[in-house]
């Protein structure tokens, strides 16, 4: 689902104007993104939790050259769905 599809779905459910819905969605994604960038977890009740996680560097074999190389450490985002969503996905 894209932001546009989400906005249309919300408009159909609530009747709010698209301009307001787009502004709310944009603000929400900005705040969630900023929190994750600053290392904070974001918990949305009845949906799930977004957690930033540090991934350590690791060695791997480059198939093309046959040499071992190392990836750099980086951050990723984990999503843990709430229990109700997890059960609905089964």
Mean pLDDT, rounded, for 62-67: 92
CA 20 to chain centre: 22
How many domains does one find in the chain? 2
| 1 and 34, same domain (yes or no) | yes
| 31 and 55, same domain (yes or no) | no
d(CA 60, CA 37): 27
Do 27 and 14 touch, CB atoms closer than 8 A? no
Percent of the chain with pLDDT over 70: 100
Its domain, for residue 23, covers 1-40
| 19 and 50, same domain (yes or no) | no
Output the pLDDT for position 62. 92
d(CA 60, CA 58): 7
Percent of the chain with pLDDT over 90: 99
What is the DSSP code (8-state) at residue 46?
T
CATH number for position 45: 4.10.520.10
| 46 and 71, same domain (yes or no) | yes
What is the DSSP code (8-state) at residue 5?
H
| 65 and 77, same domain (yes or no) | yes
Output the pLDDT for position 81. 96
Checking 56-62 for CB contacts under 8 A at 24+ apart, the result is none
Where residue 90 falls among pLDDT bands split at 50, 70, 90? confident
């Amino acid at each position: 689902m894209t932001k546009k599809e989400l906005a249309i779905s919300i408009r159909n459910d609530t009747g709010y104007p698209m301009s307001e819905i787009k502004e709310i969605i944009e603000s929400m994604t900005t705040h969630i993104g900023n929190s994750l960038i600053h290392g904070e977890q974001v918990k949305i009740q009845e949906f799930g939790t977004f957690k930033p996680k540090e991934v350590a560097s690791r060695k791997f074999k480059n198939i093309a050259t046959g040499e071992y190389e190392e990836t750099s450490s980086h951050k990723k985002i984990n999503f843990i769905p709430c229990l109700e969503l997890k059960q609905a996905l089964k």
